Amino acid sequence: MALSSLVALSEVETRLLIWGCILQLKADEKFMQAAIDMARKGVFQGQTPFGACIVKDGEMISCRHNLVWESMDITAHAEICAIRDACQRLKTVDLSGCVIYSTCEPCPMCFSACHWARIEKIVYGARIEDAKQFGFNELEISNDIMKQIAGKSSQIEITSDFLRHEACELFGLWDRQDRQRVY
């Protein structure tokens, strides 16, 4: 009798685990889509095709697009803008428990900012090499390599290529604009 209860419990646990994964995937899609939509908005405002969304406990805290050209600040990448906004909204520089959804793999500066802010997880769409193909002056240092360099001091979980096709379409949209500028 006890063994059959364990088997039944195991099936229930398995179903709950699968259901939890499906719900997380849906949430990831929702927040990545928000970052993509924000990047699209930025493109139509003359900015570059990058967006980032920060989420804590299933709630969107910040969603920003790149502001490099608007602010004439080379550090105003979407991830940096979203981190600054999230810190102000939460009144802390510690973003533990937060997830950042970025339309493109964060550059080394943005990865470092995620590390310093103690962001728990990075979910990104396009890769650094995708941005480089459109003329962006990217350092080809992947987030995986940045995490290796950091060793045990970086506990950031990385999910790559999430909705990559949709994120890469932003580069095409940007490339078709009359006023596109790279940096």
Residue 125 and residue 161 in contact, taking contact as beta carbons nearer than 8 Å: yes
Q: 121 in helix, strand or coil?
A: strand
Q: What letter would DSSP give residue 153?
A: G
Of residues 41, 162, 173, the one with CA closest to residue 100: 162
Contacts of 68 (CB under 8 A, 6+ apart): 47, 48, 74, 76, 77, 183
| Exposure letters 42-81 (e unless 16+ CB within 10 A, then b) | bbeeebbbbbbbbbbeeeebbbbbbbbbeeeeeebbbbbb
Catalytic residue among 70, 79, 140, 166: 79
Q: Note if 79 is an active site residue.
A: yes
Residue 78 and residue 167 in contact, taking contact as beta carbons nearer than 8 Å: no
Catalytic residues: 79
